[in-house]
Structure formats: structure tokens, C-alpha cells
Amino acid sequence: MTLPQLSSEWTTGLSLAWSAYIGVLSVWIVMQKRAPVSTMSWILSLALLPFAGFVIYYFLGPQRLKKQRLKRLRSSAGARGDADLAQLQGAAERAPPALRQMTALGTAACGLPVSSATSVQLLSGGAQAFDRIFDAIRGASDHVHLEYYIFEPDRIGTALRDLLAEKSKQGVKVRLLVDALGSKRLGSRFLAPLEASGAEIAFFHDTRIGRRLRPVTNYRTHRKIVVCDGRIGFTGGVNITDEEDRRTRPDAYHDVHVRIEGSAVRWLQTTFLEDWTYATGESVADTDRTLPHLLPHLVPDEEAGDIPVQVVTSGPDNVLEPIHRMHLAAINASTSRAWLTTPYFVPGEPALMALTSAALRGVDVRLLVPRRSDSFIVSAAARSYFDELIAAGVKVWEYKARMLHSKTLVVDDSCAMVGTANFDNRSFRLNFEVMAVVYGPALAGPLAAQFETDLLSAAPVRANRPQNFLMRLLDAVARLFSPLL
């Protein structure tokens, strides 16, 4: 056999192997029944990585997850919310039809109904958020539940660990759930004092190979939840890290959080308990049997307030994408303003259409993003949408002072959202997220004021801003990967 013949046979064999690889991979991806753009992006991207692409998709590609609900907990918590509905009846009758439809959408999409709060407070900056969280934990007498994406063993993390250990020694039930990837620096030595105090600790989606038949590395809990005695709850963008605290780091992220008091906290509690049961592998049936004894403590009867609040959750276990839908419904319902703040802006076609359509019909649509985020490719992808947005009348600002990490939306004077979800595909489809939707002016006013304050540290993006060819090309290329970001 001559050398040219051998080369030809090898070429033919490799071509057949590559074709078979593309065929198998394409069938696998297509059968996921994802959005066509996302499906084609995965196929084209991985086609350039023969065989290695198979491994990448196995670890990072989309897959369906199932996470059982604690039905008895939801049923009991819902029954305890009858007073909320009676208290809010007058407000509901005065609310615009679009707003009433939003509450129905949230309930249908994620199963959590509108509830009420006696107090809703916007917390600006990690320092203020940490102070209020620590105060609530110090005042807890029955239990403290925490769920975080990032919990660092740094100054603020150590202070919180020590406080939790102290409360646990006092007889308060402490449960801490952290994401295994986001909190990968939490080691056994750091957690030892907390475990010794009797607190329970769990990691969400262990990242070690071999823990599951197919790893779930790409599916993280991005939620930030604190619940104290079932009466006070917190959520928002602030993680447990010195990077969020300007008292420690002058360049700390700029972020916001929300403190909720009242019966709406029961749905943050429900979300935490379902995540806890899922992460620890506890039997749902066993948990349901113990709930009647636990409910008076975990879901106490709270006085109905006059502030309508709806907790909305989403994740890869829910194909309805509730948080995505709620954002679009709010923007589509806007009549005077829709002000969006997000650190990562990678909109899909429906989201882009909602923003530009609102601006074209005369709504004051504003978008605030960081000038430089902690992801170079996401920042480049975001810039690729600016010209299209500005041409439709959307006002775009880039926050200059520090890394902007807030995830908020304020619509008119009637709706405000604060949560953990970025305005991108990852948050809408892949991560487990949570958001508080507050109807009425209680949060819309303070959130609008915070937005205007943030604009003082931002610069408007001009339609004809100077950009060299290389930068424009980079942005355009990054946009091709938008469905994967």
C-alpha cells in the first residue's frame, strides 16, 4: 500500500467518523426541542470541535431536570393566604387589567399566588443589606434558613458563619444551602464551627464527576434567600462576599436587595424548603408527613398587609420560564416608563421586541448596564444590541463607577421587580432564580429613585459613538453566541 493510498483511506475514514459524530450530536441536540436559534448555535459551535464537543455538551448542554414540589406545604401555605386576598381585594379591583393578568400569569407559570406584606424595604448596597440581614438573624428565635449562590470564606462570610453558629448554639434551627460551584471555596475547616454548633449545611448540585449519571454542572442555584422565623425574608442580587461590601472594598459591586416582612415571606420559605429537599435528597413523602408538625414554625400565621407581593421562581425544571414571562408582561403593560437594570444583558428576540415596541409606542424605556462587567464576552454581546435599541428610542446608559450587579425593573408607578435573575438566557432558562414582584407604589417609588441616583454615575450611550472596526467585529461575533450565554 502506497503512502498516498494510506492518506486517502485515512481521510475517508476521518470524514465518515466526523459525519457520524455530527449526525449523532445533531439528533441529540434537536431532540431537546429547544429554541431553533439555540439549537443551531449548539450544533454549529460543537461541529467545530470534533468529539470534544460531545463531552462539552454532555457536561454543559441543556437537559430537562425534575424537582418535585412539596404539595402539602404549598397547599397549607396557600390556605393561610386567604386573608391576603381579602385584604388586597380593594387594591385588586383598582388595579389595571394588565396588572391583574400579570398576577395570574405568575401563579399559572410557577404556582405561587400573589400574597401581601406589611413592609417592603429596598436595601441599596451590600453593606446595608448585610446589616439588615444580620439584625434579622440576631432576632430569630425559631429558625434561620439561607440559600446562596456565592458564600465566600472572607471577612463578611466569616462574620455570618460565626453569627449562625452562635444562634444554633442558642437552639435556633439553622439551615444553610449553598451552590456547590458558586461557593466552591467553602471547605470543611471553614464550616467546622458551624457544623459543630448543630447547624445543617447542604450543597446544591455537587460538581464532582461521578455523582450523577449525567452531570448538572451547568444548572446552578443562583437564588439568594434568607428567611428568619418565617416572618422576615430577603432576596435580591447580594451574595455573601466582600466584593459586595464597600466597607471592605472600595471597588465593591453596586447592588440592591429587598427586605420583606409579612405573609409573603411564606413563599420564600416554600422555595427554600423545596430546594433544600431536592439538594439533600430527602424524601418528599417523608418531608410532607412531617410538615403538619413543622408548619406552625415554618409558615406562621402572619397579619395580612396592604402591599401586594408575588414571589416568582424559575429554573430548568420549569419550561414555562416564569421570570422571563413576567419581565415581558410588565414591559408590554407599561404606559409611562420601563426602567431596567441588569449586569448581564443578552436578550432573546421576544425580550428585544418588548423593549423596542414599548419605546416605539412612547414609553420611557431605559436600560442601565455596567460599562465593564466581569464577563468580557457578555459585555461585548450586550453592546451589539445598543444600536438597535437606541434606534427604537430606548435610552441606554453604562454605569461607570464600579461593577453594577443590580437586577431590577420598575414599570410605571405600579410594578417593581427585584431578584436574582439577569436579563439573559442563562438566568431565564438554566439557573434556579427567584424574584419579588411588588405591585403598587411601595417599591416602585424607591426603586425609581434608586435608578435615577445610579444614572448620576453613568454615561449615556450615543447612537453614533466612535467604534473601530475590530471592536464592532468583536461585538458582532459575541452576539452569535448569545443563545449560549
The bridge status of strand 173-179 relative to strand 364-370 is unpaired
* Residue 407 annotated as catalytic: yes
Does pLDDT of 99 surpass 70?
yes
pLDDT at 60: 59
Average pLDDT over the chain, rounded to whole? 84
Q: What is the pLDDT of residue 76?
A: 61
User: What percentage of the chain reaches a pLDDT higher than 90?
Assistant: 58
Question: Is residue 1 scored above 50 in pLDDT?
Answer: no
Q: Would you say residue 275 has pLDDT above 80? A: yes
The catalytic residue among 143, 224, 254, 257 is 224
Q: Which of 325, 310, 341 is nearest to 409 (CA)?
A: 341
pLDDT of residue 3: 46
pLDDT reading at 84 higher than 60: yes
229: annotated active-site residue: yes
Which pLDDT does position 145 carry in this prediction?
A: 97
Catalytic-residue membership of 327: no
**Rounded average pLDDT over 374-397:** 86
The active-site residue out of 229, 245, 424, 454 is 229
Looking at domain 322-484, its CATH class is alpha beta
Whether 71-95+117-306 shares its CATH topology with 322-484 is answered yes
**Type of residue at 271:** T
Reported confidence tier of residue 379, pLDDT bands at 50, 70, 90? confident
Give the whole-angstrom CA distance, residue 99 versus residue 105. Answer: 10
The pTM (predicted TM-score) of the whole model is 0.84
* Predicted pLDDT of residue 382: 80
The CATH homologous superfamily to which domain 71-95+117-306 belongs is Endonuclease Chain A (3.30.870.10)
Annotation marks residue 84 as catalytic: no
Of the listed 179, 275, 412, 454, which one is catalytic? 412
| Residue showing cell 434537536 | 30
Boundaries of every domain in the chain:
14-58, 71-95+117-306, 322-484
∠ CA 313-425-397, rounded to 5°? 100
Residue 222 annotated among the catalytic residues of the structure? yes
Task: Give the active site residue among 143, 167, 222, 254.
Answer: 222
Catalytic residue list contains 33: no
451 touches 341 (CB < 8 A): yes
